[in-house]
Structure 1
């Protein structure tokens, strides 16, 4: 693929800005005729025709064939060329890395789940880089066609500056720059929940909704916010720290360093902690033997036990759902969203988490406000972070 457009983008020419607009339009809409595109961009048909011809030569756009119409001349449809470039998404979970590769059009080509225990150390970062490179070397594509890699990181991440302040904050250089120098590819980073939100928005359960709250109930707890079709990141990229609002008068120290955070009683980590304590106090569960023998269990083990109708696990998930629903009701009262999506690892328990959330929302939110908010389960489930990371890798390269 010709890299002329990428060079233009770096220079910030007027032509490059219009071409980025064209790519962003096709990312959202799929394909269109030149006439339709000229109306959207408010440019003349000859201007758009010239730009499309240049982008076809560069390899980013391709002619999709003639549009079937009832009569007259059949115009050509244009859209993104799938083979013109590839994007990698890396979703760091608590006990593993979910990595995938997507073509320019947005089709997922390959994915893998690799065991990985994240630690805030240079060695752990090096291990992550080796995982990414190993995945790239398995791909049957020219490696210079990988245009960007986006890595999801939990906590406080500034996608614009490339800094992560919650983990891997070892030196003054941005983390995105450090990883890029280690693996030899362009790298961007973003908050994992924001990435999941974007994945659900472009490739999940969202239809025409433009105002959305995505609730990520995984090991931790956070929200992603979309307002008028755009991801809301906040001034420094730190929006969505839902799990760290002060909600309880307890003495449980949250990993953020404060006590009483919502996350201490309404998250995968809280379910994990309560389960281990309950079993030590004599409660019974499918996981009792493992825990009492001191064997390692994961949040995924708890999800599987819940879905096998383990009574103790169900009770803990439902309790979490009620606490979550109470505070999501507050978000609904503030934002009046069209849709609230429940995602993340704990959402894999489906109705066990959804029903208590909906019950609490009905109880604690204003009727006139919540009646217009759909409460739905994530379509992408535990693949949302990886898919969102791939899509963000593409968007970040061409965003305005």
Structure 2
């Protein structure tokens, strides 16, 4: 039985159980610090050198840890330094979008070893869509050539309401009594952790993206819908039931537009990708000119991605409507700044790829609607990771949860 199989075995007890947990603690320590000596581990865990040596040798025999040779010393006998074997374990991340998925894999040392972006997929709340998702994940694993037993866990991002601690999804694939995480585990044979997509994107960006030392950060996922990930003192904030961050459903407008949540007046009804697509189609049907009318795309078939690409090609209608969306978004962001007083607000998601076309009207509205004493301390940046933010976050979160890393 391998070490990771032992971790899942509830029948192990006594000294064997204690040793397994010590090995897990060692792996976590290596994952955080990179490498260390036997003396370092002895001091950290208050254990004798022979005890530590025996446990480290067990991990070496299983191919999880490697002796990297002698470390430099100012005098005396130089100790050996030990560290993880990066390719001894992998973590899978799947970021599900409306019309595609991003899927990637990291090793024990957090290096992204394989990623596929924008793999075509239609998200629908039915068994067929879930089956197709599982098929795409299985194909990715097969094509990766990584042995299945070395993939230690899967992180799955979905939009909407997710309770990561119970594994339930309340917006998609909630037609089984058991948690979606258990359904996925049965289908894929992998320990599965669910996460809200915006929260995972926030975590990816916080650890590997545009964040440089800030601890209090708000990440906004500006896509078809609006999502938010909140980092407070460097930790993800979930709220009581795990649903914190429903930015798109702030009741900010007095309108009669029915939101996807079933209520009226939500920010998402007038300041989202859904709203942009609706406004664009209305304008085209009213006779407004756009470069897209010369394409073979029918008005009803226009996707958010088409409008974003039109803006990047200097389409006046697309640019004008994105600015209008940006101004309304800025009003909502001003509210967040007044409440949270964050060090940094990150704009992510597909709408953020329009760059200054959306950032400038957002910035202008923030200056107009938020308190100047508050917003003067808040930076506004665009995501660095882009499509990789969610995959990176999903991989890191499943790695941290399996290894009990903070």
Structure 1 residues 217 and 36: alpha-carbon distance in aligned structure 2, compared to 1, 3 A threshold: farther
Distance 1:244 1:212 in 2: 20
Structure 1 residues 69 and 352: alpha-carbon distance in aligned structure 2, compared to 1, 3 A threshold: farther
**Counterpart residue number, 2:136:** 131
SS in 2 for 1:330: helix
Q: What is the CA-CA distance between 1:350 and the residue it aligns to?
A: 1.4
**Counterpart residue number, 1:389:** 394
2:37–2:82 contact (8 Å) kept in structure 1:
yes
Q: What is the CA-CA distance between 1:24 and the residue it aligns to?
A: 4.2
Residue 360, structure 1, aligned to residue 365, structure 2: yes
SS in 2 for 1:240: coil
Q: Deviations over 1:240-274 (max 9, x none)?
A: 11111101111111111111111111111111111
Q: What is the CA-CA distance between 1:126 and the residue it aligns to?
A: 0.8
Q: Deviations over 1:49-91 (max 9, x none)?
A: 6654444444333344555566666555444321111111111
**Counterpart residue number, 2:276:** 271
Q: Deviations over 1:313-364 (max 9, x none)?
A: 1112122222222221221222222221111111111121222222222222
Give the TM-score normalised by the residue count of structure 1: 0.90
Residue from 188, 194, 205 that aligns with 1:189? 194
Q: What is the CA-CA distance between 1:290 and the residue it aligns to?
A: 4.7
SS in 1 for 2:337: helix
1:5–1:16 contact (8 Å) kept in structure 2:
no
Q: Deviations over 1:93-115 (max 9, x none)?
A: 11011111222211122222321
Q: 5+ unaligned residues in a row in structure 2: which ranges? A: none
Distance 1:28 1:4 in 2: 19
RMSD after superposition: 2.6
Structure 1 residues 346 and 144: alpha-carbon distance in aligned structure 2, compared to 1, 3 A threshold: same
Residue 177, structure 1, aligned to residue 182, structure 2: yes
Q: Deviations over 1:105-152 (max 9, x none)?
A: 111222223211111111111111111111111121212211111111
Name whichever of 72-81 and 224-233 sits farther off. 72-81
**Counterpart residue number, 1:344:** 349
Give the TM-score normalised by the residue count of structure 2: 0.89
1:276–1:291 contact (8 Å) kept in structure 2:
no
Structure 1 residues 76 and 92: alpha-carbon distance in aligned structure 2, compared to 1, 3 A threshold: same
Q: What is the CA-CA distance between 1:288 and the residue it aligns to?
A: 2.5
Residue 375, structure 1, aligned to residue 380, structure 2: yes
Structure 1 residues 129 and 73: alpha-carbon distance in aligned structure 2, compared to 1, 3 A threshold: same
Aligned pairs for 1:9-158 (under 5 A) are: 11=10, 13=17, 16-17=20-21, 19-32=23-36, 41=44, 43=46, 46=49, 51-68=55-72, 76-112=80-116, 113-158=118-163
SS in 2 for 1:209: coil
**Counterpart residue number, 2:285:** 280
Distance 2:392 2:244 in 1: 21
Distance 1:202 1:93 in 2: 21
Q: Deviations over 1:285-305 (max 9, x none)?
A: 122345873462322222211
**Counterpart residue number, 1:297:** 302
**Counterpart residue number, 2:238:** 233
2:249–2:266 contact (8 Å) kept in structure 1:
yes
1:156–1:165 contact (8 Å) kept in structure 2:
yes
SS in 2 for 1:287: helix
Name whichever of 295-304 and 310-319 sits farther off. 295-304
Q: Deviations over 1:2-47 (max 9, x none)?
A: 63255246659555555545444544554455666667x5645736
1:213–1:223 contact (8 Å) kept in structure 2:
yes
Q: 5+ unaligned residues in a row in structure 1: which ranges? A: none
